[in-house]
Amino acid sequence: MAETLSSPLTKTFKIALIGNPNVGKTTIFNQLTGLNQKIGNYPGVTVDKKKGVMSYQGSSYEIIDLPGTYSLYPNSEDEVIVHRVLNQLSELEKPDFVLMVIDSVQLSRGLFLATQLIDLGLNLAVVLNMSDLAEKSHLEIKTFELFKKIGVPILRTDARHQKGIEQIRELIHQQNFSNPGAFIEPKEFLDTDELLDVREFFNLD
């Protein structure tokens, strides 16, 4: 399979896709990269290393599909890989931008991970996927209010039906990511029931 080559004078930006398991992250990865993918293994573990190239408006971007994770505190092989990639000391290996994919129906669990990404000082954008299921469940997500709270761009998508994928491509092309540069407490934007769900799910005291 031919790989897209870039000019030595042109930097190919790396975008890491991150999210909880089963949020549609790999569906988005496949739609962004098509067949232009490469699968290997991370050194020392059996976890798949999935990379692909997104070509858009004459530019190429390397897309990295990170393993699904609930937290940046490594307790499994998958979480170790995510932690390792996001904390790369080498600027050549470290992602330039991070696209956080969240299940709109399980918003609180995704936002718990998002606060950790913000705390790392990463250039971040958020995709609220499965927005169609949230609507069917009569879940109202106030996207603009959420944006004001966490300070990063937010898109709503339905990746299963390819809705919002073009907006993701444009967001990446425009490098519309943000680094709020401040620690955010989950309680600042999650209500009491959502906080209880997070505490119970992650066994937090």
Domain at 137, CATH number: 3.40.50.300
State percent of the chain over pLDDT 70: 73
User: Is 172 within a domain?
Assistant: yes
Position 8 pLDDT exceeds 50: no
User: Is 4 inside a domain boundary?
Assistant: no
0.85 surpassed by pTM: no
CB 131: neighbour CB atoms within 10 A? Answer: 22
The residue-averaged pLDDT of 162-178 equals 95
**pLDDT exceeds 90 at position 35:** no
Q: Report yes or no on 1 lying in a domain.
A: no
What is the span of the domain harbouring residue 178?
Answer: 14-201
Q: Is residue 165 part of a domain?
A: yes
Q: What is the mean pLDDT of the chain?
A: 80
The one-letter amino acid code at 46 reads T
The verdict on residue 82 lying in a domain is yes
Q: Could you tell me if residue 20 is inside a domain?
A: yes
The tally of domains found in the chain comes to 1
pLDDT digits (tens, 9 = 90+) for 97-127: 999 999 988 887 888 888 888 888 889 999 9
Q: Which residue has the higher pLDDT, 172 or 180?
A: 172
pLDDT number for residue 172: 97
7 domain-assigned: no
Tell me whether residue 2 is in a domain. no
CA 39/CA 86 separation, integer angstroms: 19
Copy the structure tokens of residue 56: 């858009």
**pLDDT tens string 174-193:** 999 998 765 555 555 555 55
In 3-state terms, what secondary structure has residue 111?
helix
